[in-house]
A and B are shown apart, each in its own frame.
Chain A
Amino acid sequence: GAVVSQHPSWVICKSGTSVKIECRSLDFQATTMFWYRQFPKQSLMLMATSNEGSKATYEQGVEKDKFLINHASLTLSTLTVTSAHPEDSSFYICSAREGGGTGNIQYFGAGTRLSVL
């Protein structure tokens, strides 16, 4: 299957700093990428949908000014957690959708564990 690379896999930062997470589709072009947040032993919560060349669509309750998403190319989307605080500590996972139109398969990155001190 298609490969999605996510970096870093683990990051520790001080409260108030910003952290950038990258998501790359390595062997396919992803018109749409998705960012999820996952708490321990819980499901995947969609944060936003990122379309190449346009503004991201955020889910209700997700602060767009806090979680900045950029999808500048068909193979790269970034999530920046601005002014991070301990409550932002979580597992963040991206996914990329292979194919447009009726192509629905999403491939996931390995996730980024963010710890804010």
Chain B
Amino acid sequence: GENVEQHPSTLSVQEGDSAVIKCTYSDSASNYFPWYKQELGKRPQLIIDIRSNVGEKKDQRIAVTLNKTAKHFSLHITETQPEDSAVYFCAASNSGGSNYKLTFGKGTLLTVNP
């Protein structure tokens, strides 16, 4: 089955700096890669996703890059703010069918210091 590795497990940055979280996956059939943000005690919320036919996607301060050859994808947050502090999870899945499911990384605790 799919295996997703996520690094780092914790990341501390100063407000205004950039943050980068990296993930690798094992199943070359995976073609959908979402990123979720989870604040303490809250539900995971989708912040951005990318599909395998695209190499990069950007939404304001958040961007995701995908390298299918190397089987890794990354989340980039620019101009970080204290409210960006949360746990971020990457995930990978195939596109559909009865075997569809998301496999999550172990998460990255991001702390943005004012």
Contacts and interface: CB of A to CB of B under 8 A. Distances in A.
Interface of B: 32, 34, 36, 41-46, 49, 89, 93, 95-96, 98, 100-107, 109
A43 to B, nearest CB: 5
Interface residues of A, number: 25
Contacts of A1: 46
B98 to A, nearest CB: 7
**Majority DSSP secondary structure for residues of B touching A:** loop
Contact of B105 (A43, A103, A107): A43
Interface stretch (A14-22, A44-52, A80-88): A44-52
Contacts of A34: 101-102
Contacts of B46: 1, 105-107
B43 A100 contact: no
Given A93-B43, A104-B49, A109-B43, 20 more contacts: A32-B100, A41-B109, A42-B106, A43-B105, A43-B107, A46-B101, A46-B104, A51-B98, A97-B100, A100-B96, A101-B96, A104-B95, A104-B96, A104-B100, A105-B49, A106-B46, A108-B36, A108-B43, A111-B41, A111-B42
